[in-house]
Chain A
Amino acid sequence: MELLSNLALGFQTVISPQNLLYCFLGTMIGTLIGVLPGIGPVQTIAILLPTTFALPPVSALIMLAGIYYGAQYGGSTTSILVNVPGEASSVVTCLDGYQMALQGRAGAALTVSALGSFVAGSFAALLIAILAIPLSELAFKFGPAEYFSLMVFGLIGSIVFASGSPMKAIGMIVLGLLFGVVGTDITSGTQRFSLGIPELADGIGFVPLAMGLFGISQIINSLEQKEKREILKTKIFGFWLNKKDLKEVAPAVARGTLTGSLLGILPGGGGILSSFISYMLEKKVSHNPESFGKGNICGVASPESANNAGAQTSFIPLLTLGIPTNVVMAMMAGAMMIHGIQPGPRVISSNPELFWGVIVSMWVGNLMLVILNLPLIGIWVKLLTVPYRVLYPAILLFCCIGIYSVNNNIFDIWLTAILGFLGYLFIKLECEPAPLILGFVLGPMMEENLRRGMLLSRGDPSIFITRPLSLAFLLMAFAMLIIIAVPAIRRRREDAFGQEREELPKK
């Protein structure tokens, strides 16, 4: 059994005291920032990237992954207790979770979300382990044309389910690709768009870009809004589920897990989309759909399982094909590259302990979360009383020190401030920064594959449509563009997002 020996290797890696510690740290930090509204996994990973620089790559990735799925746990706690999503992917959990809390069943809601997440997380980790090798073998058959088309597919796919104007999202992708071009051209050695600034010869750094667009700009934007939180005053009790609950919840968890696992693999998927879709699905298959939004336990179980499953299976395209499909995965790709590892099919063979270690760590981390989270609820609730005005200067400080430490370079701090302002403009103009980061990460690879493909075909662009796999990717990308463009479908897509959001109280 190759799979078993691989998993054994993973266990060996994770079980070392150092990696266990970083797994624990990651999941705890993740839960912490998940609990706090206004700061999510994307910002946190951006902020902590430089700190992981000093660690060995395996520990760094284990910790960063822990932050991502830990945040899904923490986010639901805030949703249930405060009726404010602690984190974007637990927006729907507010609907039924808070209602359950009002009915005195906060304990049950918290247990269901923790157990559902654990089941989903374990299943997703197993799925990654099973799919990884065949997918990466497939990737080895890819030529430059296939890679280029796959990236087009991935980029277009990432905006299909995003909210907001698709035209602007495409613009942001293009802008991201352009940001990726800045610096020295590998083939010719020409300095491109470096504007005579020597620090830009190596290109725009991933850390300043990520921190500027997601850290700094978010802080400025949050400061414009009044902060309002009402924490449930009642004591939380009754963590145990009764038989009737269990019978109801089990199939909902299973449905959520499957939906989430599937959506996580697709481009643009991940935690947020998974939770929305699974909530809608749950409402559709339910015997009494009118009880949703009034404290139906399935309305908590399914999306909570789905967001965790989706968060984890979105590692599949990154680790096997080298294509990040959402922002957090772009961050992980950035982290790998900082450590000198090129994400893609070669990771499994060249760094097996890293690959299997990260996968097994997800299971271990989920276990830690289940064991530690419920007893720690009290502490998390206390944390919610820390006001944002004390929190954000600390975040800024960590950003600044972190940025400087990556290259011991003052220029990067200024670059972050500039990009932070740009990110703030983007928020004001309702341009989502996520597609930009994806474009930025994929930009250099895309250009290289385009160049190589065209060189092979002696300048004939038909190479992209005569190779069957490449054609398939392009056709799928095209189909998705049509889905976005057709007004009827578009309206329904906006409804789907709009409806659930309107049911929520204003933040």
Chain B
Amino acid sequence: MQISNHKDFNAGLLFILLGISTTVLARSYPIGTAAKMGPGYFPFILGFMLTVLGFVISLKSLSKGRGERKRALIRFRPVVFVLSSIGLFGLLLLPLGLLLSTLLLILISSMASDEFKMKVAILNAFVLLIVVLIIFVYFLQFQIPVLPAFLGGRT
């Protein structure tokens, strides 16, 4: 027996994992009866369904003989730079304010592209800063601190 479709096999595994953890968690809530369902009833059924589906999907992806057909390739550069730029934006928005965190978001996320050029990224960041100030701060008047907290930055 070999895995003929890695994508299906892994998707099945993911479903099993999520399914089992929900059933376990759901059992810690009152299940109730069919007529008077408790908060655990619906998620328990769903978790069970998900687990079964996961098993079926994984098992179906096994076959005799030929293996290595479909495999997911993950490239780390885009994942790492895009996600970390968002995470950092969340971390810095309140202490550093909109201006600086926008600058950092654009610079870091730009590095996710293979064709990254510092000059283009900086130019892009400044154009976007102006757009953001006009749209979000001036027109829509979002309640976001613009300047860093240490410069007394409430809008």
Contact = CB atoms under 8 A, between A and B. Distances in A.
A193 interface: yes
B19 to A, nearest CB: 8
Nearest to B105: A397
Contacts of A461: 34
A187 interface: yes
A343 B143 CA distance: 29
Interface string B128-146: 1001100010001111100
B42 A220 contact: no
B87 A414 contact: yes
Given A170-B53, A171-B54, A174-B53, A223 B144 contact: no
Interface stretch (A119-127, A398-406, A475-483): A398-406
Contacts of A383: none
A458 to B, nearest CB: 5
B62 interface: no
Interface string B85-115: 1110111011000100010011001101111
A262 B116 CA distance: 47
A489 interface: no
Interface residues of B, number: 73
Query: At the interface, is chain B mostly helix, strand, loop or mixed?
Result: helix
A430 B7 contact: yes
Nearest to B34: A459
A188 B11 contact: no
A141 interface: no
B86 A417 contact: yes
25 contacts: A51-B140, A170-B53, A174-B49, A178-B22, A178-B43, A178-B47, A188-B30, A192-B26, A193-B25, A221-B78, A223-B77, A393-B109, A393-B124, A393-B128, A396-B105, A404-B144, A405-B144, A413-B89, A414-B86, A417-B83, A425-B14, A428-B72, A431-B11, A454-B35, A454-B37
Interface of A: 51, 54, 165, 167-168, 170-171, 174-175, 177-178, 181, 185, 187-188, 190, 192-193, 216, 219-221, 223-224, 387-390, 392-394, 396-397, 399-401, 404-405, 408, 410, 413-414, 416-417, 420-421, 424-425, 428-431, 447, 450-451, 454-455, 457-461
